[in-house]
A and B are shown apart, each in its own frame.
Chain A
Amino acid sequence: MDAILFLIFATLAVACAVNLVLQKHPIASAISLVGVMGSLAVLYLLLGGEFIAMAQLIVYAGAIMVLFVFVIMLLNAGIEQRTGRRLWVTYGGVPMLAVLIGMAAYIVERALPPTEAVRFGTFQHGNAFDIGERLFKVYVLPFEATSILILVAILGAIVLARKEIS
């Protein structure tokens, strides 16, 4: 059952990611990205990350993608006029990406025995209580640093979007 769920949502994620890369219209790419994020949330649940799956849905698929769709609508972004790169870039780049995936597969197969299976329910530290305890006890300094980062990002976004740069 676990493997079937994994295969369904992994296929969905890869299909949506391929669609993201191939679609000409930005809004179609954005919808595909929402599909990737939703299926990844299910995979996080299978790995025992309840909190992070919900955060993925709320922060990524909710907030960030709404921001993207909003900007696409605001700029009235249409279909790309000129698509693709020069020919040798496509014919050189795609095999090199295949080599990248192949090398990653080789290393993963060497490092991890294939018998090690992911069983749903084995990992018990993914709930909000354990995450919060870890976050506020061990990682409290990075957590506070993130608040400053977000403050700077808010200010930067306001300053950039406000005035005309001549």
Chain B
Amino acid sequence: MPAIPQYAPLSWYLMLSAILFALGVAGFLFRRNIITVFMSIELMLNAVNLSFIAFSYKQGQNDGHIYSFFVMVVAAAEAAVGLAIILTVFKNRQTLEIDEVSSLKN
């Protein structure tokens, strides 16, 4: 077993970001519950935020922090509107399965 270095390289952080993003994509594609799909989107946004902070560390400037702050704000707005849409869908159709909601198909 190789010895653990004292400090984590920057590439580890970016790798973690890629793994979390891929898991978010997997959840988005494979799950059928509309709320879980929505949570997978939040997971992807979080993964991208980690990339922003990591690159901000590399550049030595805090612009990446500002960007991820804006991502948080937009995610909050998106969650409010998205959950309102989910509420409306459930009120009208009594289902949370994404495959059942297909009015726009054909």
Listed in ascending order, the chain A residues whose CB lies under 8 Å from chain B are 1-4, 6-7, 10, 13-14, 17-18, 20-21, 26, 29-30, 33, 36-37, 40, 43-44, 46-49, 51-52, 55-56, 59-60, 63-64, 67-68, 71-72, 74-75, 77, 80-85, 89-90, 93-94, 97, 100-101, 104-105, 108-109, 112, 114-119, 122-123, 125-126, 130-131, 134-135, 139, 142, 146, 149-150, 152-154, 156-158, 160-161, 164-165
Contacts and interface: CB of A to CB of B under 8 A. Distances in A.
Given A26-B35, A135-B66, A152-B77, 6 more contacts: A6-B12, A17-B43, A63-B76, A68-B83, A112-B14, A158-B84
Contact of B76 (A18, A59, A89, A108): A59
B9 A114 contact: yes
Contacts of A68: 35, 38-39, 79, 83
B27 A43 contact: no
Interface of B: 4-16, 18-20, 22-27, 29-33, 35-36, 38-40, 42-43, 46, 49-50, 53-54, 56-58, 60-63, 65-66, 68-70, 72-81, 83-88, 90-92, 96-97
Contact of A21 (B30, B49, B65): B30
A62 to B, nearest CB: 11
A58 B57 CA distance: 22
A21 B27 contact: yes
17 contacts: A2-B8, A14-B20, A21-B30, A29-B35, A29-B36, A56-B49, A59-B72, A59-B76, A71-B86, A83-B32, A101-B18, A114-B11, A115-B9, A117-B5, A153-B78, A157-B83, A160-B88
Q: Which 6 A-B pairs have the closest CB atoms?
A: A117-B7, A153-B77, A104-B18, A160-B84, A6-B8, A125-B62
